[in-house]
């Protein structure tokens, strides 16, 4: 696995080694030994899987408030997504900065999302499948969200939004709420 640090402190791209032959390929999705450079958590407490039918769908931006913050490792297993993270750590030098990365079944990249970051994605193809490795259990009472088109963040989504959940659509903007760490 190759780890590429991003400008957002603590966030990284993980590029899997691919072992390919006439049968197809083999790759690791998770290796604690290799990923220990990024974090010291020894557990993956929850693995989530999403299937998104329609190109242009946005999921997010979600995060959990302290002390239920979670580390995520996100990979697109089928299709192609624009994966976005936002640094919500008030004392961070990259506070409220965002990064977007194309993850696809073909590029074998994963996005490492540290604690204190909001996360979301937009599907760039129909029928996308995404897997998330989380080091904490989901706590619905601790979930927070940011409006996907928040003017303060000004995220450059690659294509027009075609679908979003009512919950995600109705998140408030950063100017209207105080959801920082």
Residues catalogued as catalytic: 62, 132
Please tell me the distance from the alpha carbon of residue 31 to that of residue 9, in angstroms, as a whole number: 22
**Residues 38, 166: Cα–Cα separation, whole Å:** 34
User: From CA 94, how far away is CA 75, in angstroms rounded?
Assistant: 23
CA trace torsion 22, 28, 29, 34 (10° rounding):
-150
CB neighbours of 33 closer than 8 A, spacing ≥ 6?
Answer: none
| Residues paired with 118 in a beta bridge | 86
Question: CB–CB of 80/100 below 8 Å?
Answer: no
**Alpha carbons 43 and 26: distance in angstroms, whole number:** 23
Place of tokens 């900065």: 97
């Amino acid at each position: 696995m190759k780890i590429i640090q991003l400008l957002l402190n603590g966030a990284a791209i993980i590029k899997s080694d691919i072992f390919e032959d006439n049968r197809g390929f083999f790759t690791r999705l998770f290796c604690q030994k290799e990923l220990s450079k990024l974090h010291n958590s020894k557990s993956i407490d929850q693995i989530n899987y999403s299937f998104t039918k329609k190109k242009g769908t946005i999921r997010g931006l979600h995060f959990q408030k302290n002390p239920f913050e979670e580390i995520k490792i996100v990979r697109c297993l089928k299709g192609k997504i624009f994966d976005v993270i936002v640094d919500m750590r008030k004392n961070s030098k990259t506070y409220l900065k965002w990064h977007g990365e194309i993850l696809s079944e073909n590029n074998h990249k994963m996005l490492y999302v540290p604690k204190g970051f909001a996360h979301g994605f937009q599907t760039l193809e129909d029928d996308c499948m995404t897997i998330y490795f989380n080091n904490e259990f989901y706590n619905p009472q601790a979930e927070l969200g940011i409006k996907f088109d928040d003017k303060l963040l000004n995220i450059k989504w690659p294509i027009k939004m075609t679908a979003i959940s009512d919950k995600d659509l109705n998140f408030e903007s950063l100017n209207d709420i105080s959801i920082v760490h």
